[in-house]
């Protein structure tokens, strides 16, 4: 089951004035992606969108975790205990992901691919079934982490053969930043990029801010909407995006590496990052540790990672939001009665 941040631009495609909008959708990174541009030259817009979608496809193919790719080749080398020469791009991604993992107290860790596989989430369709307890115990005993990797030039080695990289919680954000750069290089100043719930805005839509909706985790449609300023990015991690159920209990893809199980104390976390060269990457990667930190730790982790605009929905459905984000939200159907606005 998949739902994501809801871009509201679709409601105005037919009615909006000049310049015209060009839109294309695709399926990549295991989710739906959309790129919309506002350009007075339709052909320019179409070329720019094609270039951005082409980069999405390249990243997806190069760094797929369980289909043949450069990343899967590296994982095979790590499991065999041998060093592996990688592309400068992959070496850079690993270094960047290591820094982000440390920033979030290693609750976001792209080195837990083996655990993700044990839970059945390295697949396009999920089978409802729990992994054997002894397999989880063995993984916890090995304690693999992206921090186990060392990079010398472009050669990667690991002190732990159980490390398996999975960039599923990171690459969509990288792709947002890449798409924004490509669109700007193509002369596009106004666009909205949506990759399965991670959204970045460029410029405006005919002089008005792009408005997106934050999906309600348990109801159809958005909980609230927010206007995105030029260069801002917003990302959501939720237990409603990739999950299965066994005996009425929900098991999501958001795994806590501290105990090897899905985090079940949170329904969704949304963060909004200010404009910057890595706004997309941060909107994707930093929502994960804040989600996994739970009720007692998410605010401290948000401050630690520099996230000022955040919203959390707990397992009980209660909504807490930082004041910086609350001032920008328009709640659908009125402000929730049990909403908590934090300093």
Question: pLDDT digits over 284-298, tens only?
Answer: 999 999 999 999 999
Please report whether residue 273 resides in a domain. yes
Please report whether residue 30 resides in a domain. yes
Q: What is the pTM of this model?
A: 0.93
Please report whether residue 81 resides in a domain. no
Cα angle at 311 between 335 and 104, to 5 degrees? Answer: 170
Q: Could you give the percent of the chain with pLDDT greater than 90?
A: 89
What is the three-class DSSP state of 210?
A: strand
Q: What confidence category does residue 2 fall into, taking pLDDT thresholds of 50, 70 and 90?
A: very low
Q: What confidence category does residue 18 fall into, taking pLDDT thresholds of 50, 70 and 90?
A: low
Give the tens place of pLDDT for each residue, 181-191.
999 999 999 99
Best CA proximity match to 110, nearest among 186, 35, 164, 54: 164
What's the chain's average pLDDT?
A: 93
The DSSP bridge pattern shows strands 233-238 and 319-322 to be unpaired
Asked whether the beta carbons of 200 and 233 are under 8 A apart, the reply is yes
pLDDT score recorded for residue 343 = 87
pLDDT score recorded for residue 127 = 87
Asked whether the beta carbons of 281 and 170 are under 8 A apart, the reply is yes
Give the tens place of pLDDT for each residue, 147-177.
999 999 999 999 999 999 999 999 999 999 9
Please report whether residue 247 resides in a domain. yes
Average pLDDT over residues 229-253: 96
pLDDT score recorded for residue 125 = 82
Domain count within the chain: 1
Residue 16 clears pLDDT 80, i.e. is over it: no
Please report whether residue 114 resides in a domain. no
Please report, for residues 75, 129, 282, the alpha-carbon distance to residue 169 in angstroms, rounded to integers and kept in the order given: 17, 22, 11
Cα gap 274→251, rounded to integer Å: 32
Please report whether residue 21 resides in a domain. yes
CATH code of the domain containing 281: 3.10.520.10
Cα gap 324→310, rounded to integer Å: 8
Q: Could you give the percent of the chain with pLDDT greater than 70?
A: 95
Give the tens place of pLDDT for each residue, 183-229.
999 999 999 999 998 999 999 998 999 999 999 999 999 999 999 99
Residue 14 clears pLDDT 60, i.e. is over it: no
Q: Please report where in the chains the tokens 């991670």 appear, as a residue.
A: 198
Please report whether residue 73 resides in a domain. no
Please report, for residues 41, 49, 293, the alpha-carbon distance to residue 269 in angstroms, rounded to integers and kept in the order given: 38, 29, 11
Parent domain of 336? 6-39+192-342
Please report whether residue 147 resides in a domain. no
pLDDT score recorded for residue 12 = 37
Cα gap 287→299, rounded to integer Å: 12
């Amino acid at each position: 089951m998949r739902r994501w941040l809801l871009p509201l631009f679709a409601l105005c495609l037919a009615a909006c004035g000049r310049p015209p909008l060009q839109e294309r959708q695709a399926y990549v990174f295991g989710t739906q992606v959309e790129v919309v541009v506002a350009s007075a030259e339709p052909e320019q817009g179409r070329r720019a969108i094609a270039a951005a979608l082409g980069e999405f496809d390249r990243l997806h193919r190069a760094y797929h975790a369980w289909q043949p790719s450069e990343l899967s080749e590296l994982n095979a080398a790590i499991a065999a205990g041998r060093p592996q020469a990688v592309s400068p791009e992959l070496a850079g991604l690993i270094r960047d992901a290591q820094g982000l993992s440390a920033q979030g107290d290693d609750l976001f860790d792209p080195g837990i691919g083996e655990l993700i596989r044990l839970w059945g989430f390295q697949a396009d369709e999920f089978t409802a079934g729990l992994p054997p307890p002894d397999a989880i115990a063995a993984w916890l005993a090995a304690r693999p982490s992206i921090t186990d990797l060392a990079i010398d030039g472009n050669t990667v080695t690991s002190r732990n053969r159980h490390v398996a990289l999975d960039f599923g919680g990171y690459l969509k954000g990288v792709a947002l930043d890449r798409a924004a750069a490509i669109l700007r290089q193509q002369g596009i100043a106004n666009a909205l990029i949506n990759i399965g719930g991670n959204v970045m805005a460029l410029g405006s839509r005919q002089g008005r801010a792009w408005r997106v909706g934050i999906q309600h985790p348990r109801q159809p449609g958005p909980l609230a909407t927010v206007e995105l300023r030029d260069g801002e990015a917003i990302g959501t991690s939720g237990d409603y995006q990739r999950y299965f159920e066994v005996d009425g209990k929900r098991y999501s893809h958001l795994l806590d590496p501290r105990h090897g199980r899905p985090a079940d104390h949170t329904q969704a976390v949304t963060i909004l990052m200010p404009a910057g060269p890595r706004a997309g990457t941060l909107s994707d990667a930093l929502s994960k540790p804040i989600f996994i930190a739970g009720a007692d730790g998410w605010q401290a982790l948000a401050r630690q990672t520099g996230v000022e605009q955040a919203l959390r929905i707990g397992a009980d459905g209660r909504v807490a939001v930082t004041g910086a984000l609350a001032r920008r939200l328009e709640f659908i159907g009125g402000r929730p009665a049990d909403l908590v606005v934090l300093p």
